[in-house]
Amino acid sequence: MLLSCKYEEVTVPIVNDFILISDKAYTKSEVFDMEKELMNTLEFNLSVPTPFVFMKRFLKAARSYKEMELLCFYLIDPCLVEYEMLKFPPSLLAATAVFTAECTLKGSKQWTKTSEFHSQYSQNHVLQDLLYVNELINATHFSLLSYNYTEPVVTQLTETT
């Protein structure tokens, strides 16, 4: 519990609080020893990268602007909750969203050498994934997602660009 608090909470409880909660069943050193054992067992891997981690890098490489960023996030949102998308690496989903946004907004049908270098994916690889994302978009009703992206804050962002 202490480890999860350190990872998630803004203010971390002190160890003595956990000792009191456990009715002094553990000592301070036992709590720390268990925390070390947990971290070693997890090999310090507390989370996995999501497409958003990769998207930041790929958008920077593509010299994106606010409208392109919003479109990328709009495209990637349904992929995060769709079970079928788990078979794709998060980096490939991010690359596909960036490529789709570039094609849509810039009219470009080419995956640039810069984007290919930073993503490590060829245009053919991205296009194969694009077919699955396109099927997902066509098969899913985006009423809530569309509503989220028409909120005044998002609309103001797109109007300023």
Contacts of 28 (CB under 8 A, 6+ apart): 15, 16, 19
Q: By three-state DSSP, how is residue 112 classified? A: coil
With 70 as the cut, is the pLDDT of residue 146 above it? no
Backbone angles phi, psi at 10, to 5 degrees: -75, -45
Burial of 24 from C-beta contacts in 10 A (0-12 / 13-18 / 19+): exposed
Taking the C-alpha atoms of residue 45 and residue 2, their distance in angstroms, rounded to an integer, is 16
- Predicted confidence (pLDDT) at residue 103 exceeds the cutoff of 50: yes
The Cβ-side half-sphere exposure at 105, using a 13 Å CA radius, reads 19
* pLDDT for res 25: 92
Identify whether the C-beta of residue 58 lies closer than 8 Å to the C-beta of residue 95. yes
119: left (phi over 0), alpha (psi -120 to 50) or beta: alpha
- State the chain's maximal CA–CA distance in angstroms: 66
- Name the one residue in this structure whose structure tokens are 């789709």: 100
Backbone phi and psi for residue 113, each to the nearest 5 degrees, phi listed first:
-60, -35
pTM tops 0.75: no
User: 30: pLDDT confidence band, cut at 50, 70 and 90?
Assistant: very high
Model confidence at 10: pLDDT above 80: no
CA dist., res. 149 & res. 91, Å (int): 23
Residue 160 reports pLDDT greater than 50: no
- Residue 145 confidence (pLDDT): 54
